[in-house]
Amino acid sequence: MKKALSALCGFVLAIPVVFSQTAELKGSALFGSLRARSIGPASMSGRVADLAVVNRSPHIFYVGAAGGGIWKTKNGGASFEPIFDKYPQAIGKIMIDQNRPDTVWVGTGEPWTRNSVSHGNGIYLSVNGGKDWEHKGLENSERIADIAIHPTKPSVVFVAVMGSLWKSNDERGLYKTSDFGKTWEKVLYIDENTGCTNIIIDPQEPEIMYAATWQFRRSAHFFTSGGKGSGMYKTTDGGKTWKPIRNGLPKGDLGRIAIALSPSRAGNLYATVEADTNSLYRSTDFGETWKKMNESFNTGARPFYFSLLVADPADHLKIYKPGYTLTVSRDGGKTFNTIGGATHPDHHALWVNPSNTQELLLGTDGGVYRSLDAGGSWTMFRNLPLSQFYRISVDDDKPYNVYGGLQDNGSWMGPSEKPGGVRNGDWRNVGFGDGFCTFRHPTAKHIVFSEYQGGHLMRVNLNDNSTKDIRPFPAKGEPDYRFHWNTPVALSPNNPSKMYLGAQFLFMSTDMGESWVKISPDLTTNDPLKQKQKQSGGMTRDNTTAENHCTIYTIAESPLDENIIWAGTDDGNLQVTTDGGKTWTNTTPQIQGLPKNTWCSFVEPGTTDKNTVFATFEGHTSGDFKPYIFKSTDLGKTWKPLATDDIKTFVWCIRQDTKNPDLLFAGTEWGLYISIDGGQKWLEFENGMPKVGIRDMVIHPTADALVMGTHGRGVLILDDISPLRAITSELLKSNFAFLPIKPQIIKSGGGFQDFSSAGEFVGENPSSNAKIMYYMSKRHMVGDMKMFVYDEAGKQVAELNPGKQKGINVVDWITRGKAPKAKMGTTLSGGAFMGPSLPEGKYKVKVIKGKEEFETVVELKGNPDSEYTAEERKLQQNTALRLHALTEKIGNLTNTLEYWIDETKKSVESNKIPASKANPFISKWEGFFKTLISTDKGGIFAGDEQLNEKIIELYGNVNSFPGKPSQSQLERTALFENEVKEAERVFTLMVEKELPAINSLRTKAGLEPLMKSKEPEGGQEVEGKKQFRKFMFRMGWLH
């Protein structure tokens, strides 16, 4: 019967080959357990678009990030969990049904329509507090600004759909559902250029509602706020009919409007209105008439970014104005006071606790703050890694550092790993304003380049924190230089002293920016119609360099030829020179299928062939969200499209692997896509990877890591891309195949004691374990699957739990031997929990899968950069093994003694052996036992330390240092060997003389004789122990 079983299993396993063709392959079925990790930073956090708090339990709240998804806390912000990673990460509005707080509506697509804003794909509903989400339509809404739930009918929900920022569309206006989002009805619609930004239901009389509409449009080079479509509307019949409200509001066109209703006084409303003069208005008669109250700076600043008003829940004369800062009026809007002083400027969300109006939560461009004294002081939540990178780079330190610039949060550098994890304090600020390209000089290690908006390039000296502005300026007779908001800077991969900077011209410097040589003519279209940023803004002028256009946006020099330089522009040119800048050719006219003037978002010269180039284009600023990836193998003379339907949105960047030219990575607005066949097929990578915009990424040349700069989730790292290099269509056909495993470098050094990271985000480190990787064409379900590791002598050193999933499996192997079987006294000896490092060498890995066996080899290598010689490491390992043996010997001895004592006491208690005969043995054994192991019941604080504890401590100390043990340690090891020998001599006498005496008494009493030896249960690997405790805890075994 067994034979039949295995035969059939083999049969079952052999079938799926037919089905696993590359064409049908999905990312989830290939990438298996490969996973990206996050290193933050959260020090400065990132833009928050909305906050939603459960009013009855304010320790539960949701943070809606502009580009970083939704984070939920259940403990007042001590920790947050991302709960929306499978969906677009740009959040517009989160609305909790306060009567049923597990019902949460989320409108995606940010409503704060700055130039760098991300988009969404409709509305979602969760009925279990954010555990599961269901898409509820409004797919083409692009951005949702507001949601209102009917106070007594939970199935009735109104949604203010702003609609597209970049083009006309008719999926906008006010929508109503009466069936929890199954169907939608458009109840207020102006036109295809006007969206709805506000919806308020009167809590006492829900038939009365107020709505604001806004006409707006942004392009790559211009922004318009306001027009005929903007207005304020009121219904008194639950949304069936709407009438415009104008009485008391300014005449003429309006811009963006924010309305707030005071819950504490019927009919009391406030509104900020963008008009000729942006002002605050108040109504006390249910919006029928309005009176102008105030036109201070913060009430009217940047309506497209700050149109938000929050009425105090208890005091109808109190109104909050989040804006450039946070101001509050306590006299019905006549005067305002600043209370947001100590927070990051630019405020988009505010919650006032209805049960205690002293408590405020504030969402800003730099994270979330809480005040418990009505805005007098603020605490920032330092555990929300929402940082929004524009560009990113790495250096070649070990471990390497990551550099990048952020939306409104300057430029930063931080380590890719750190003992204990990458913490906020590990990140160093190296810039101002909005940060963009940030690089370390390849050879002058103390020099970092960073920039702020509009081409303000700076050279930062890390030694003294001095910064020098190193922008080039136009000479007499030259036109003004046009620098993009996000001005490109590039280092030469061939010449460490060469760097490039792009305006409409390309500049090159070989002296760290002290001087610049213009090496190109104007490479853009120089279209004067696209250079009207000085008039940009619509009703409220807004010219911050964000609309600068007809500029170079991406620059790259071929890593294979210093004279080949590519420059892509925001107005759709991709220029190349092959003679270091003497002559330039625009290559985009040769690209078929690319709409004219589509923004060139990234250029990646081939890593293995200098005539090859990859380029991405994106037209989202003209409403074209299609992915464009092109490849040329003849320096841009002809192009081939690589983007397929697999990619669901537009593409920011592309990288070609440095070792396998068919392995490509595409960073899109909604996450990472990978191609293993040169771009014929793209697979979405979702493990540890939210659907976040990847604005830039880089493959670390020696660490083989893909480092991604995301616009909302900080830096994400895919640590080892080498398994992806090995995936071929041939390999995909095999049921089971090991992937090549890089030699594992035995790491040294650990962390130090640190308890201060509670409440702070700590970035995950790469695993320091050896990784055994294999591919399976289908999940292992039937029959055994086991994994063993053997040393060169064929001795089994580990049994591991093999991964069983379809695709790539990564199995972690802690490269240590077994921890000693130690005996714990009353003083805990932590050193015994760790096994000794396994020696360098080749280890055989065997997988048994049903009847089949597969083998591969993993090599453990010493750290070539280690300060300790191979000889010293050998001495360390030998000494650790000597102490390991001593720990087990003393453990065995003490455990046996304890067993004798316990059993003999039991036999006395049960009157099997007379006390008079047993007690002399017991007291002798106890006396001996006490000299060998701690027995003081005071536990860990009693300080009892005997031979057992001393040996284990020495073992732990020698074991945890990767070099030569100290002379004192070596001498002490020899000393302990003698002491253990002496203890064993005494013990042997007991075994020979005393044990037979007791055993004869036992035999007479009908008891089993005592054994000569009883070894203790093993100690455990300390990391594993933590994990295990965690599991036990979760399962309720530990309390």
* Nearest alpha-carbon partner for 706 in 661, 662, 657, 745: 657
Shortest Å, Cβ 1036 to another protein: 3
Residue 940 is a binding residue for another protein (CB under 8 A): no
Cβ distance to another protein smaller for residue 476 or 1034: 1034
Shortest Å, Cβ 782 to another protein: 5
Shortest Å, Cβ 13 to another protein: 9
CA distance 453 to 546: 8
H helix or E strand, kind and range, residue 870? helix 870-909
CA distance 841 to 793: 11
Residue 902 is a binding residue for another protein (CB under 8 A): no
Cβ distance to another protein smaller for residue 878 or 1020: 1020
CA distance 822 to 883: 11
Phi, psi of 536, deg, nearest 5: -70, 150
The residues pairing with 617 across neighbouring beta strands, listed in sequence order, are 600, 628
The residues pairing with 401 across neighbouring beta strands, listed in sequence order, are 415
Residue 986 is a binding residue for another protein (CB under 8 A): no
Cβ distance to another protein smaller for residue 273 or 785: 785
CA distance 469 to 454: 13
Cβ distance to another protein smaller for residue 10 or 678: 10
- Give the residue, chosen from 15, 870, 986, 1005, that forms a contact with another protein under the rule CB under 8 A: 15
Shortest Å, Cβ 878 to another protein: 23
3-state secondary structure of 983: helix
Cβ within 8 Å of residue 836, ≥6 positions away: 816, 817, 877, 880, 881, 884, 959
Residue 779 is a binding residue for another protein (CB under 8 A): yes
Residue 1037 is a binding residue for another protein (CB under 8 A): yes
Cβ distance to another protein smaller for residue 161 or 718: 718
Tokens encoding 1034? 């979760």
Cβ within 8 Å of residue 557, ≥6 positions away: 490, 492, 493, 494, 498, 500, 564, 565, 566, 605
Shortest Å, Cβ 79 to another protein: 13
Under rule CB under 8 A, which residues in 800-829 are in contact with another protein?
A: 800-801, 804-807, 812-814, 818, 824
Q: What is the DSSP letter of 931?
A: H
The residues pairing with 231 across neighbouring beta strands, listed in sequence order, are 213
Cβ distance to another protein smaller for residue 529 or 731: 731
Cβ distance to another protein smaller for residue 228 or 779: 779
Stretch that binds another protein, among 14-22, 63-71, 400-408, 860-868 (CB under 8 A): 14-22
Residue 561 is a binding residue for another protein (CB under 8 A): no
Residue 35 is a binding residue for another protein (CB under 8 A): yes
Residue 1020 is a binding residue for another protein (CB under 8 A): yes
Shortest Å, Cβ 1000 to another protein: 29
CA distance 288 to 655: 58
Cα–Cα distance list, 430 to 180, 468, 700 (Å): 48, 12, 21
- Give the residue, chosen from 12, 127, 317, 519, that forms a contact with another protein under the rule CB under 8 A: 12
Cβ distance to another protein smaller for residue 603 or 785: 785
Residue 28 is a binding residue for another protein (CB under 8 A): yes
Strands 744-745 and 651-656: unpaired
Residue 74 is a binding residue for another protein (CB under 8 A): yes
Stretch that binds another protein, among 434-442, 590-598, 886-894, 1015-1023 (CB under 8 A): 1015-1023
Cβ distance to another protein smaller for residue 130 or 431: 130
Cα–Cα distance list, 880 to 234, 517, 884, 887, 1019 (Å): 80, 61, 6, 10, 15
Tokens encoding 191? 């036109």
- Give the residue, chosen from 179, 799, 855, 971, that forms a contact with another protein under the rule CB under 8 A: 799
Residue 1025 is a binding residue for another protein (CB under 8 A): yes
Under rule CB under 8 A, which residues in 252-271 are in contact with another protein?
A: none
Residue 783 is a binding residue for another protein (CB under 8 A): yes
Stretch that binds another protein, among 26-34, 582-590, 728-736, 984-992 (CB under 8 A): 26-34
By the 8 A CB rule, do 232 and 260 touch? no
- Using only C-alpha atoms, what is the Rg of the chain? 34
Cβ distance to another protein smaller for residue 399 or 688: 688
- Give the residue, chosen from 4, 475, 758, 793, that forms a contact with another protein under the rule CB under 8 A: 4
Residue 183 is a binding residue for another protein (CB under 8 A): no
Residue 780 is a binding residue for another protein (CB under 8 A): yes
Count of residues engaged in binding another protein, rule: CB under 8 A:
62
Residue 852 is a binding residue for another protein (CB under 8 A): no
- Give the residue, chosen from 586, 611, 687, 960, that forms a contact with another protein under the rule CB under 8 A: 687
Cα–Cα distance list, 466 to 406, 440, 442 (Å): 20, 15, 19
Cβ distance to another protein smaller for residue 274 or 944: 944
CA distance 62 to 60: 7
Cβ distance to another protein smaller for residue 89 or 299: 89
Residue 941 is a binding residue for another protein (CB under 8 A): no
CA distance 310 to 74: 24
Residue 691 is a binding residue for another protein (CB under 8 A): no
- Give the residue, chosen from 156, 208, 491, 785, that forms a contact with another protein under the rule CB under 8 A: 785
- Give the residue, chosen from 56, 86, 100, 131, that forms a contact with another protein under the rule CB under 8 A: 131
Cβ distance to another protein smaller for residue 580 or 688: 688
Shortest Å, Cβ 814 to another protein: 6
Q: Locate tokens 């109006």: which residue?
A: 357
Strands 360-364 and 367-371: antiparallel
CA distance 668 to 672: 6
Cβ distance to another protein smaller for residue 308 or 890: 890
Residue window 75-114: x/- pattern of binding to another protein, with contact defined by CB under 8 A: ----------------------------------------
Sign of dihedral through CA atoms 535, 540, 546, 547? negative
Strands 422-423 and 401-406: unpaired
Strands 360-364 and 347-352: antiparallel
Cβ within 8 Å of residue 56, ≥6 positions away: 98, 101
E-strand stretches of 227-325: 231-235, 243-245, 257-261, 269-273, 279-283, 291-294, 310-311, 319-322
**Identity of the amino acid at 774:** Y
Cβ distance to another protein smaller for residue 29 or 199: 29
- Give the residue, chosen from 234, 316, 778, 873, that forms a contact with another protein under the rule CB under 8 A: 778
Residue 1039 is a binding residue for another protein (CB under 8 A): yes
Go through the chain and tell me how many residues it has. Answer: 1039
Residue window 634-673: x/- pattern of binding to another protein, with contact defined by CB under 8 A: ----------------------------------------
Residue 29 is a binding residue for another protein (CB under 8 A): yes
Strand order, beta sheet including 613-619: 599-605, 613-619, 624-632, 640-641
Residue 26 is a binding residue for another protein (CB under 8 A): yes
- Give the residue, chosen from 5, 974, 989, 997, that forms a contact with another protein under the rule CB under 8 A: 5
Per-position DSSP letters for 871-913, written without gaps between them: HHHHHHHHHHHHHHHHHHHHHHHHHHHHHHHHHHHHHHHTTSS
Residues in contact with another protein by the rule CB under 8 A? 1, 4-5, 8-9, 11-12, 15-16, 19, 26, 28-30, 32, 35, 74, 131, 687-688, 778-785, 798-801, 804-807, 812-814, 818, 824, 1016-1021, 1023-1025, 1027-1028, 1030-1039
